[in-house]
Copies of this chain bind each other. A is one copy, B any other.
């Protein structure tokens, strides 16, 4: 028979079981937090009609989409969970309660150039709150609260959610009568990389007057505590309605986050945060792991004006955030910030001597019925082969079933990591291992 080399496509993450256990635990933690805050699950198809998925059309993303024909149907794999959310919300509008809080955790597909840490299939873990017609700014405060609890539960101590409001940026630039905000923001974004002087130089090159470039830099340099930043913005002397609206919103969001009990060590106003320039219209978020800023934002999002204008006349403003879990997992592993801790999901591997398998099964029945997860090594083999398996599986405990053990009702429970063994009754083993 011809052997085909077993391999996956480049850019597709696949984990060994021990790593998969860890990955699944991360998903469970994210899901638990999303649900605890009232977000409801949805699970849209991976394949959508191309005309629906690409209703917005154009852009870099389109080239990356996996699109194909089957029969007469033109279909595409989803490239994010936001477009499907828009389609879902418009399609099921009458059956949903608004504000509609939904989460979705699922795989999305982008035929990007293969490179380290970039995946063509990756998990996104999204939450969004969608309003019908309008949506209170307080919803923008809930998002960082959930992210705070999620990252805490994921085991992180030092991280910070950075918050800004696009209206402040837009209002500020409008007050300077700068129309090509996109180019200006892109230039300002390079501040950390090329430094203040080069940014000013580039700003002048794209047509910004020098005094305005200085003002932009002064604006960008505003820092300090959240209170200090809000005071500095107020004192900056800009009279622009959008700016003032943004400032109000930002203050409301920051105050509400405090009311939600998030310590101020874990969220901060950062006027440099802008995010996807044409999509977000108000609050924007990024999240950094302190000490690992080079990873980039591990969780980003913001407020948008209208979710589903391609699918409905209804105005559906929303606010949301997304954790790109596959990339995050990969980077955390590379940085040795996470590590698979267990390779086995059971507590006990029951190893019967050859011929005593049914006795082993009866013990498993007692253990599992009492809530101790256990499984049988059922193969006939030499004892050292059986223990080699236990070692490779990294099961916490083994229990050997021999004739003497069965006759006496006393079994050796071996702790595999330190090699110690205790001779115990099944009842005592259950008492010891039951959670």
In the assembled complex, the CB of A20 is this many whole angstroms from the nearest CB of chain B, namely 5
> Is A256 interfacial (CB 8 A cutoff)?
yes
In the bound assembly, the distance between CA atoms of A71 and B38 in angstroms comes to 42
In the bound assembly, the distance between CA atoms of A43 and B171 in angstroms comes to 47
> Is A36 interfacial (CB 8 A cutoff)?
yes
In the assembled complex, the CB of A104 is this many whole angstroms from the nearest CB of chain B, namely 10
Residues of A bordering B, CB below 8 Å: 1-9, 12-17, 20-21, 23-24, 35-49, 51-52, 55, 66-71, 73, 75, 86-88, 90-92, 95-99, 101-102, 107, 109, 111, 120-121, 131, 134-136, 138-139, 141-142, 255-256, 259-261, 308-313, 343-346, 349, 357-358, 361-362, 364-365, 368-369, 373-376, 378-380, 389, 392-393
In the bound assembly, the distance between CA atoms of A36 and B374 in angstroms comes to 7
State whether A9 and B134 are in contact (beta carbons under 8 Å apart), knowing that A4-B310, A259-B358 are contacts in the complex: no
Complex contacts, A378 vs chain B, CB 8 Å = 99, 136, 138-139, 142
Inter-chain contact A36/B368, CB cutoff 8 Å: yes
In the bound assembly, the distance between CA atoms of A35 and B42 in angstroms comes to 24
What are some 19 contacts across the A-B interface (CB < 8 A)?
A3-B312, A4-B51, A4-B310, A5-B52, A5-B311, A6-B88, A8-B91, A9-B47, A14-B42, A14-B44, A16-B92, A17-B41, A23-B43, A37-B375, A39-B345, A134-B379, A136-B357, A136-B379, A259-B362
Interface centre among A9, A75, A361 (most CB of B within 10 A): A361
* 5 tightest Cβ-Cβ pairs between the two chains A and B: A38-B375, A68-B68, A17-B40, A97-B392, A6-B311
